[in-house]
Amino acid sequence: MHNNEQPAVEILLVEDNDINQEVALAMLQLMGLSADIAGDGKQALTMLGQKTYDLILMDCKMPVMNGFEATQIIRKRESKDAGHIPIIAVTANSMTGDHQQCLDAGMDDYIAKPFTQKDLAAVIYKWLPQVKQVQPAQDP
């Protein structure tokens, strides 16, 4: 492994908006990371049945199945196999009660949209300590 390579970590980005997907992926790439994308909670559950993830970035408001419902189902599944995947809520609503609603649904942490590279990096480094912190290139 070269000095600038990250350990293999599997991230699932659950987001229904194409632009938000692109922005989040670009931010992850700046950290040397990538993610698989699910367009809603139901698709995320299917993908979780096929692959093991180290972290989930979960949008709260989505069609078909929202992030709260998906998280509750994931936590029920985990109670059977004693696993625990960190789930980070991503929501446009940064009201005080929203944070508690995310935690009550079984999510581990919370970032509000629009988030910065620094916000995303902080939550990734907090929940995936094996990821090496990289300094983003500074604009000239």
Model-level pTM greater than 0.75? yes
Q: What is the pLDDT of residues 50-97, one digit of tens each?
A: 999 999 999 998 999 999 999 999 999 998 887 899 999 998 766 666
**How large is the C-alpha radius of gyration of the chain?**
15
For residue 4, the model assigns a pLDDT of 53
- The domains found in the chain, sorted by start residue, are 11-127 (3.40.50.2300)
For residue 1, the model assigns a pLDDT of 39
Any residues with CB less than 8 A from the CB of 70 and at least 6 apart, and which? 14, 40, 41, 42, 44, 45, 58
For Cα atoms 15, 18, 24, give the angle at the middle one, nearest 5 degrees: 65
For residue 2, the model assigns a pLDDT of 41
For residue 95, the model assigns a pLDDT of 60
